């Protein structure tokens, strides 16, 4: 289970009616209880001591960083105010929490940072020297436009490893197109192979394109850590 979000005392908004996910100015920290750790406390996790800054949302990126958590990494999820990851309110819900969101983000710490403000970028720049991995699944070019592209991260931390997850890659004729799982299923022909022989293309209900992408990104990060 994801633990409660605790509002920090620094830079927090005290406006009347402001809630934890409706604050445009506040920066929030998320705590992780011992019960939320997914590894055996008697075994040293493979990625213990590895810190990850996680700029992912929806499924493909969070499924990758969830695997890093399960291997013992300390994952700090950066979410955009005021609402955070768009899947936070997704059904099914219980006690105000989305099972979908909890499934992919359990065990992570979280910050809500406005990356359109210089103060938010400065906060991230302060964190970069202390992390080993950065994972993002924005559309290609978003991190560069925010001043957080790979070349800038390398200036701040020459040893940092960065994984960028997107529907059509970072370069090439389709790289500027945004994509979700069902778009990948359509472009790959998977939808054409699904359903009745004489019926229309059919979407696979499970996010197989997103989750398989997360697994491959996780494996690539493992190789990159080994190489480093």
Active site positions, annotated? 210
Q: Three-class SS of residue 151? A: helix
How do strand 5-7 and strand 28-30 relate by DSSP bridges?
antiparallel
**Other CB atoms within 10 A of residue 203 CB:** 13
Is residue 135 within 8 Å of residue 62, measured between CB atoms?
no
Q: How far apart are CA 160 and CA 133, in angstroms?
A: 6
The whole-angstrom distance between residue 25's C-alpha and the CA centroid of its chain comes to 21
Q: What is the CA radius of gyration of the chain?
A: 18
Give the integer Cα–Cα distance in Å for 135 and 38.
20
Q: Which of 119, 5, 110, 101 is nearest to 62 (CA)?
A: 101
Provide the token pair at 93: 């819900």
Phi, psi of 133 (to 5 degrees): -135, 140
CA pair distance 132, 172, nearest whole angstrom: 28
């Amino acid at each position: 289970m994801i633990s409660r979000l605790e509002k920090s005392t620094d830079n927090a908004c005290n406006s009347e009616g402001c809630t934890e996910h409706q604050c445009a100015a506040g920066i929030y920290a998320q705590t992780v209880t011992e019960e939320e750790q997914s590894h055996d406390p008697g075994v040293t996790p493979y990625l213990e001591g590895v810190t990850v800054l996680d700029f992912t949302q929806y499924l493909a990126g969070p499924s990758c960083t969830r695997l890093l958590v399960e291997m013992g990494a300390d994952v700090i999820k950066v979410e955009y105010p005021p609402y955070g990851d768009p899947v936070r309110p997704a059904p099914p819900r219980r006690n105000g929490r989305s099972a979908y969101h909890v499934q992919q983000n359990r065990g992570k710490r979280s910050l809500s940072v406005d990356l359109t403000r210089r103060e938010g970028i400065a906060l991230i720049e302060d964190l970069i020297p202390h992390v080993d991995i950065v994972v993002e699944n924005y559309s290609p070019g978003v991190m560069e436009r925010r001043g957080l592209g790979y070349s800038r991260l390398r200036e701040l931390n020459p040893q940092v490893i960065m994984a960028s997850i997107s529907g059509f890659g970072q370069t090439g004729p389709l790289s500027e197109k945004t994509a979700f799982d069902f778009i990948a299923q359509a472009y790959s022909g998977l939808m054409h192979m699904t359903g009745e022989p004489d019926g229309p293309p059919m979407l696979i209900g499970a996010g197989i394109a997103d989750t398989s992408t997360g697994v491959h990104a996780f494996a690539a990060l493992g190789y990159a850590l080994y190489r480093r």
